[in-house]
Structure 1
C-alpha cells in the first residue's frame, strides 16, 4: 500500500467531485423555483451526498473491483468534504487540516 498514491487518488477524487458538484449546482440554480425553495448550500450538500457514493460505485463496477462497506461509507463521508470544497474552496479545507493535523513544523 503506497500512502502517497492513495492520498493522491483521494485528493483527485475530491477535486473532480467538487468540480462536478459546483457545475451541477450552478446549472440547478438557474431554475428560479428551485433556487427559491432550496438554499444553495443545502443543494450542494445534497448533490455531494448523492453523487459521491454513486461515483464510487460506478468506478468500482467499471474497474471490476469489490465494493467494501467501509470504502462505500468513506465515500459517503468524503461527500461532506466535497460539499465544503464546492462551497468554500480549498482554503477552508486547508485551514481545518492545519488546525487538526500536526505536520511537525512546531
Structure 2
C-alpha cells in the first residue's frame, strides 16, 4: 500500500505546487516540510474539540477516541508522505480504517 499511496500523494503535491505555488511560496519551495508541520495541528486542542463536537452529532454508538483517530491518521500520513511505514505498522491500512470506522452507524 505504501508505494501506491505515496506515489498518488507525490503526484497530487506536484500538481498543487504547479497550481497554487504562487499563492503559498513556502509550500512551493518545501511542500513536504509544510505538510509535516501541519500534521502537528491534527493533535491540537482545537481539533480535539471539533472532533468531539462532530462525534456528538454524527456518530451513534461507540465513538473512537480522538487519540486513536489522530494516531491512525498520523501513521497513514507518514506512509503517504514518505512511502515508509513505521515499525509495527504492518497492517496500517486495515487498522486505520477499523479505528476510524469503529462504532460508526450513520
Q: TM > 0.5 between the two?
A: no
TM-score with structure 2 length normalisation? 0.39
RCO comparison, higher one (Cα < 8 Å, 6+): 2
